[in-house]
Amino acid sequence: MADGKDTARKDWSANQYLKFEKQRTRPARDLLAQVPLDQPPRRVLDVGCGPGNSTEILREQYPAAAIEGIDSSPDMIAKAGKRLPDIPFSVVDLRTYSPKEPQDLIFSNAVLHWLRADERIPTMRRMVEWLRPGGVLAIQVPDNYLEKSHAAMRAVAEEGPWAPVLGPLKPALDPFESPQELYDGLIPLCSAVDIWHTFYQHPLEDHQGVVEWVKGTGLRPFLDPLGPEDRVAFEKEYLEKLKGLYPVSVDGKVLLRYPRLFLVAVRA
Ligand SMILES: C[S@@+](CC[C@H](N)C(=O)[O-])C[C@H]1O[C@@H](n2cnc3c(N)ncnc32)[C@H](O)[C@@H]1O
């Protein structure tokens, strides 16, 4: 991608992402619990496997399966390879990838929202075509474009001295497609498409905890293009805005509401 959503422009930090590993892996477990396979899969592909946290739960659930992981980030793949040395991981962009063999399960946790809106449904349709008939595509994405945490990032981007730099880059991820658009896009290839939302409520240490959370993901495209001083100033303004938006709980923590969209499709 040639715009501000090019996730390869600056590499991910696996360490920053893993600061909230437990909370970030829970939706992967919730997604896996809904995979409607009658028998254990033989071939499983973890698309956008990140540091291997989602791959690890696939390995726990399906110890006999041939599991592979792909991700466009070298830092993430290096971490995943250290974590699960017996699993083949490759640095590859899912938009140009095709597996050699038909898959029984394609799992993709917290990845597809990084694509531009016009790429997502065509990519998901291609992913369905990587499956054998009866195979399952299981997807989860944050659905938080309208959340206070994300609206505040966009507001800070528009208000600060960095606006001329960030404006043309359009650093915000596109809002995710609606359940109706997803259903209509996939059902022609599938025997069933199951879509649901879950709202997680994460108690974080304080407002800085919210900053740390999004620094591992959605805030990256806002901070990465800035120089060191602007980056610090942006973070500071963002933190101040969050303080006005999220109350402090009785125990001093801040509840971060985090809506996530789940989709499980069975190839016809
Ligand atoms: C939020 S992490 C998810 C990691 C892991 N699946 C999990 O469950 O926590 C998103 C991952 O998607 C990867 N990614 C984003 N765009 C990608 C693309 N076009 N092709 C392959 N991987 C991509 C990123 O490199 C990153 O590791």
- SS3 assignment, position 52: coil
pTM, rounded to two decimals: 0.93
pLDDT at residue 131 above 70? yes
Ligand 1 pocket: which of 111, 123, 143, 224 to mutate (most atoms <8 Å of CB)? 111
User: Encoding tokens for residue 10?
Assistant: 């600056």
State the Cα–Cα distance between residues 194 and 20, nearest whole angstrom: 27
Read off the pLDDT of residues 37-72 as tens digits, 9 standing for 90 and up: 989 999 999 999 999 999 999 999 999 999 999 999
State the Cα–Cα distance between residues 226 and 166, nearest whole angstrom: 8
66-71 and 131-142 beta bridge pairing: unpaired
Read off the pLDDT of residues 96-122 as tens digits, 9 standing for 90 and up: 999 999 999 999 999 999 999 999 999
CATH number for the segment(s) 14-267:
3.40.50.150
Instruction: Report how far ligand 1's centroid is from the alpha carbon of 244 (Å).
Output: 31
Read off the pLDDT of residues 29-44 as tens digits, 9 standing for 90 and up: 999 999 999 899 999 9
Q: How far is CA 113 from the centre of its chain?
A: 6
State the Cα–Cα distance between residues 2 and 201, nearest whole angstrom: 35
Grade residue 258 by pLDDT with cuts at 50, 70 and 90. very high
Grade residue 230 by pLDDT with cuts at 50, 70 and 90. very high
pLDDT of residue 13: 78
User: For ligand 1, what atom is nearest to the CA of residue 14?
Assistant: 27
Tell the residue nearest (CA) to atom 1 of ligand 1. Answer: 110
Ligand 1 first shell, C-beta below 6 A:
7, 12, 24, 28, 48-50, 53-54, 71-73, 76, 93-95, 109-111, 114, 217
